[in-house]
Structure 1
Amino acid sequence: MYSQYLLSLAVLTANLVSASRNPTYFNLTAISAVNNVSLFQCWQLTTPITSSAQNGLSGSMVQQLGALNGNATYGYLPANFPGANHPAPGNQYVVVLSGKMRVTVPNTTERAIFTGGANSVIIAADTADKSIIGHVTGTLDEPVAALQIPFLNGQIPPYKVLYNGTCKSRELNFC
């Protein structure tokens, strides 16, 4: 009699653990701007994460990233690259593939380090029409390889701002 309840508890627990490992929405840090000053914000894309139905990937998690421009670039920044003030050239994803990218906002205390890996997708949206000075992108003691992937016509996919500041590691999905 108890074994039946134990089995039900085991199945329920397994489902809860499985559900907690599969996030429903994708959170990422954005470099945005308010009142002509760049800042970091934690954004959540409002298109939900889904389970892939693609042959060979069925059951894996996928996030639709929106319409992208065909002019993506692969960049390489050497170790200890200081960077300089600049706005984002256009609304775009930046994907840090390797290394540690340091981003600061001049004349503020805003700073963040983005490490290459599964949670290294950010959005740069502090374009010249929104931020006077922009931000500074540099590196630490190792080079950084990154992709810059512009949105088609600058159109950022639907999102909501969770709060000002970088997303906490526990809030990042696909970890």
Structure 2
Amino acid sequence: MKMLTYLTIHLLGFISLVAAQLNNITTPSLNLTTIATSNGSSVLECWQFPGFAASATPGVSGALNLFLGNTSNASYTVIPARFNGGVHTAPAAQLVFFASGLAHITLPNTTITPTTEAWIQGGKYGLILAADTPNVSRYGHITMYPSDADTVAMQVPFADGEVPDHEVLYAGPCGWAEMVGI
């Protein structure tokens, strides 16, 4: 019996330690697939935004919070099933949140590889950043919506086109390993 009590106490202590390591306050950053530019062409990159802190806002006090910059407006778009968005640039540097559906982003004039395409599933991990505006990208990107259901998206441009401080982790879209856990 003493052995069982000893193991239970130590196991509970270990579980508490693990839980403390995974709380909202210890989450250091947000990683987003970003449509950026390099030498006048659109590219996919994985960007990291640091600065999570515990919120002091009533109703979500203590929850995970990250300021993503000043924004100018917001648009809510319902994209039909199997829609072809064609080749385009971002109208402004903006966050795009896919609340539902599926987006397939590719780059024109490239061979499809893991670094030149991104599949964005709507929902918790459906946030991307699009910064390949006409003044910095000659060719833009292609967005297809292959789902049999509508895709719901919200576009939120940054005020004055100012993208928040970030670090480029690598070329290509963020992988699940960099996004899961938030």
Q: TM-score, normalised by structure 1?
A: 0.89
Identify the residue that residue 156 of structure 2 maps to in structure 1: 149
Specify the code of the residue in structure 2 equivalent to 1:59.
Answer: G
Correspondent of 2:96 among 87, 94, 97: 94
Identify the residue that residue 65 of structure 2 maps to in structure 1: 62
Comparing 3-12 with 132-141, which one deviates more in the overlay?
Answer: 3-12
Q: CA deviation at 1:17?
A: 3.3
Q: How many residues end up aligned between the 2 structures?
A: 173
Aligned CA RMSD, in angstroms, stands at 2.0
Structure 1 residues 111-142: Cα deviation after superposition (integer angstroms, max 9, x where no partner): 11111111111000011122111001120132
1:170 correspondence with 2:177: yes
Structure 2 CA distance, aligned partners of 1:18 and 1:37?
Answer: 43
Specify the code of the residue in structure 1 equivalent to 2:94.
Answer: Q
Identify the residue that residue 80 of structure 1 maps to in structure 2: 82
Specify the code of the residue in structure 2 equivalent to 1:90.
Answer: A
The answer as to whether partners of 2:90 and 2:130 remain within 8 angstroms in 1 is: yes
For the residue of structure 1 that corresponds to 2:124, the secondary structure is coil
Identify the residue that residue 141 of structure 2 maps to in structure 1: 135
Q: CA deviation at 1:15?
A: 2.6
The answer as to whether partners of 1:98 and 1:144 remain within 8 angstroms in 2 is: yes
For the residue of structure 2 that corresponds to 1:98, the secondary structure is coil
1:52 correspondence with 2:55: yes
The answer as to whether partners of 2:117 and 2:172 remain within 8 angstroms in 1 is: no
Percentage of pairs with the same residue: 35
The answer as to whether partners of 1:27 and 1:173 remain within 8 angstroms in 2 is: no
Unaligned stretches of 5+ residues in structure 2: none
Structure 1 CA distance, aligned partners of 2:12 and 2:52?
Answer: 26
Structure 1 residues 98-119: Cα deviation after superposition (integer angstroms, max 9, x where no partner): 1001111111121111111111
Q: CA deviation at 1:5?
A: 8.6
Q: TM-score, normalised by structure 2?
A: 0.86
The answer as to whether partners of 1:41 and 1:163 remain within 8 angstroms in 2 is: yes
Unaligned stretches of 5+ residues in structure 1: none
The answer as to whether partners of 1:119 and 1:174 remain within 8 angstroms in 2 is: no
The answer as to whether partners of 1:38 and 1:134 remain within 8 angstroms in 2 is: yes
